[in-house]
Structure 1
Amino acid sequence: MVQEIGTLSPSALLEVLDELAALVDNAKPVFMSQDVRVDKQALVGLVDELRHGLPTAVERSDELLRQAQDELESARRSGEETLAVARQRALELVEQEQVVAQAKARAADIVAAAEQQAATLRTNADEYCDGRLASFAEDLDALTAQVQAGRAKLAERLGPDAGRPRWDHVRDPEWPTAPED
């Protein structure tokens, strides 16, 4: 599965990590060693996909967060406008009604309904933002866990002696001798 670089979704990033793990898991072992041979081109291609796709996924999540914040702000403005209209309407009712008590009661009802509507809009917007952020956190946690698992798997395969030259690559090895008593 290869997508155009820079357009990876969070699930596509996870698929690239799965492909990377499968490439390492299915690599041919080197004779008499825990080392494996991996197709360099395939490995570099998957790493490039991650390198280019991860920033895009983070930017997309930032964009979703900005959209959620814009929607919250819009909902708040809408609630404030509704409240302002309700207050204006309440003032008009007070001026038009013959009985001041009835006008005040009606105005209070309108203001209370507008405040309730504004509170509901704020609550809904906050819940939406929280849900989107929780979903993004789960995606990031899953991606982080897979990256850590892949790195741990690679560390196991590399082992503590990964930097030593292999015996079959040394031209004239100096073989250790037994200590003399």
Structure 2
Amino acid sequence: MKVLDLLEEIEEIVDTASGFPLTGKIMVDAQELLEIVREIRLELPDEIQQAQWIKNERERIIAEAKKEYEAVIADAKRQAEALVENDDITVKAKLRADELMRVTEETAKQLKMSTYDYVDSILYNFQEKMEHLNALYFGDMFGTIEKTFNDINETLASNRNEIKEMAYRTESGQDEILPSENEEDPDSERD
């Protein structure tokens, strides 16, 4: 990871710099440090793209889970309609369809929860790394970079909160996967 290499280079410059006795201060080449900081700025968009990829992957996984859910529901409806001919079979089919619906909803919920946990752990690890890098290398000397890290951390925290809110809604049953038959599909008005 290029950013980590550049940060190690800054650390090496600081470790090998000449010091002023009794002050704890060191003398470093400002141009050299500023050049490394510029390179870090150029590399940060790659890190942000990785976070975007994680978000896109989360959306893809949720979309796949929804498609699987819809396929299972459609299959359950087809099976139920085929068994309607006999009352006893109809009752059994309804029970089976209800069971399939429950299992499917539980599976979709578990898939969502797993996705939320996975994305949250990646965001949390990335957030921890950013906070660690900020604390170790920048401090007061690089106010501009500190602001950038803080903005990224706020975005990550916001994303984590969004994931946790979605997980909470899913866990508490407030998150509807499919609109009910009485509700209109909001996408249908756009067609």
User: How does the TM-score come out when normalised to structure 2?
Assistant: 0.58
Indicate yes or no: 2:42 matched with 1:55: no
Aligned to 1:36: 27
Q: Distance in 2 between matches of 1:143 and 1:96?
A: 69
Structure 2 unmatched runs, 5+? 143-191
Indicate yes or no: 2:134 matched with 1:141: no
What SS class does the counterpart of residue 141 from structure 2 fall into? helix
Q: CA deviation at 1:53?
A: 0.8
> Greater RCO between the two (CA within 8 Å, min separation 6)?
1
Structure 1 unmatched runs, 5+? 1-8, 153-181
Mapping for residues 14-163 of structure 1, pairs under 5 Å: 14-29=4-19, 36-38=27-29, 40=31, 42-95=32-85, 99-149=89-139, 151=141
Whether the 8 Å CA contact 2:80–2:97 is kept in 1: the answer is yes
Q: Distance in 1 between matches of 2:26 and 2:90?
A: 90
User: Structure 1 residues 140 and 97 mapped into 2: Cα distance closer, same or farther (>3 Å)?
Assistant: farther
Larger Rg: 1
Q: Distance in 2 between matches of 1:121 and 1:76?
A: 10
Q: Distance in 2 between matches of 1:37 and 1:14?
A: 20
The structure with the largest helix share of the pair is 2
User: Structure 1 residues 126 and 29 mapped into 2: Cα distance closer, same or farther (>3 Å)?
Assistant: closer
User: Structure 1 residues 116 and 139 mapped into 2: Cα distance closer, same or farther (>3 Å)?
Assistant: same
Q: CA deviation at 1:137?
A: 1.7
Q: Distance in 1 between matches of 2:72 and 2:41?
A: 47
Aligned residues: 141
Q: Distance in 2 between matches of 1:139 and 1:35?
A: 26
What SS class does the counterpart of residue 123 from structure 2 fall into? helix
Q: Distance in 2 between matches of 1:76 and 1:142?
A: 38
